[in-house]
Amino acid sequence: MTRTFLHSFDPPSASPVTGTTVDLDVADIEDAGIREVLQTPGAAYGAWSILDALLAPTGVGTPFIFREPLGQAREVKVALSGLFGRFVARAYLERYFNLSIFAHLGSQTIDLDRRRKVKIKRLSRGDLPDWIACASDLSSLTVAEAKGCHDPGGPAKALTRAWAQAGRIDVTARGRKVTVKRIAIATRWGMAHAGPADAHLSVKDPLDEGEPIEPLEKEALFIGMLRLHIANLIRPLGHAELAGALYRLTQQPFARRLQGDLDLARSALDAASVGEVDKTAAMDGLVGGIVTRAGPVTDTDVTPGDQESLARLNLRPVFVGVERELIRAAIDAEPQTVRTRLTQSVRPDDFARPDRAGGWIVPLGEERHIIGGT
């Protein structure tokens, strides 16, 4: 179901849409929420699954308005506002900027390839931006920060805070600053009752020019991002060993030790359980797991009957996974193979939803089951 936001963009000439509104599909926001909750450190609970129920039932193409304010206590409103703000911003970046690979930032320096000295460099104190991201063809390097707010005056203050946060890092290769697009996104929520009536989505988006870097450094940068994207997604789904092997590949500074880490990563991938979706040939074997409203299912034996039971209980089970052969290409650092796999057309499927980063979200129930891999 499509919903709309009042849209402002700085600079206006670079806006990805014409007119004063932008639309997003609630299902796309929820899918972005699933990936975001899994990839962000902390408990992977199903906040994504309650979004549709919180919206005013005004129909397709109407404004994105909540029935009521997001809680009464300030700390609850701030927490939910920030969380849903990330969901909306990620869906916006995925749709309108074609970004699909998202590496989350922590509080310390992040290595994308320590051996080639490609890393994220902190520039100032304070919280770091939410993501560095890129497109499926390993282009459009982007630093992005999302905010959500209830400010009656609009999203301007939240956008200013987001922009300050987006400027707290550089991406560097052997000490040279890499060109990035910096994007700050602030969503001001609209309420059907007891709050601002209009939903705003405000964006600031200039290009930050850097220095030229070598082709091998550029490829290492994007492969490092892909490894982090995959590792963060599969770690809470029962694949901690494989995720750890991917992390080590970005952190290994010594060429002579890299081969051992590559061998360990390949062995971990070969040992990982692989799920196959019945009634479809649209995707390869997937490394992942089942996620419900209550979070990931850690049981390793979830039968088709169990999957149907979870659906009947309205726990909205989905299988979230990444194509095994894409993970293999990420391990082997084969950027051209990655580009080919991620940019090739995907056969339509009535159920499974791809993310253009080798990932799939597959709703489970009577019509569709995952076989193995759980």
Backbone angles phi, psi at 221, to 5 degrees: -60, -50
pLDDT at 49: 65
321 vs 99: CA distance, rounded Å: 18
Structure-token pair, residue 291: 């996620």
b/e 339-365 (16+ beta carbons within 10 angstroms → b): bebbeeeeeebebbbbbbbbbbbbebb
Structure-token pair, residue 356: 């253009």
With the CA atoms of 56, 62, 64 and 70 taken in that order, what torsion angle do they form, in degrees rounded to the nearest 10? -10
Tell me the pLDDT tens digit for each residue of 314-332: 889 999 999 999 999 999 9
Tell me the pLDDT tens digit for each residue of 163-188: 999 999 999 999 999 999 999 999 99
pLDDT at 52: 76
Contact 162, 147 (CB under 8 A): yes
pLDDT at 108: 64
Output the CA–CA distances (angstroms, integers) from residue 357 to 289, 325, 326, in the order listed. 17, 12, 9
Tell me the pLDDT tens digit for each residue of 84-128: 999 999 999 999 999 999 999 876 668 999 999 999 999 999 999
pLDDT at 370: 87
Tell me the domain boundaries of the chain: 2-213, 214-374
pLDDT of the chain, 374 residues: tens digit per residue: 899 999 999 999 999 999 999 999 999 999 999 999 899 876 556 666 677 778 898 889 999 999 888 777 777 778 888 889 999 999 999 999 999 999 998 766 689 999 999 999 999 999 999 999 999 999 999 999 999 998 999 999 999 999 999 999 999 999 999 999 999 999 999 998 877 889 999 999 988 999 999 999 999 999 999 999 999 999 999 999 999 999 999 999 998 899 999 999 999 999 999 988 876 666 779 999 999 988 888 777 889 999 999 999 988 999 999 999 999 999 999 999 999 999 887 776 777 889 999 999 999 987 788 887 55
b/e 247-283 (16+ beta carbons within 10 angstroms → b): bbbbebeeeeeeeebbebbeebbeebebbebeeeebb
- Count the helix, strand and coil residues of the chain and give each as a percent rounded to the nearest 5: 35, 25, 35
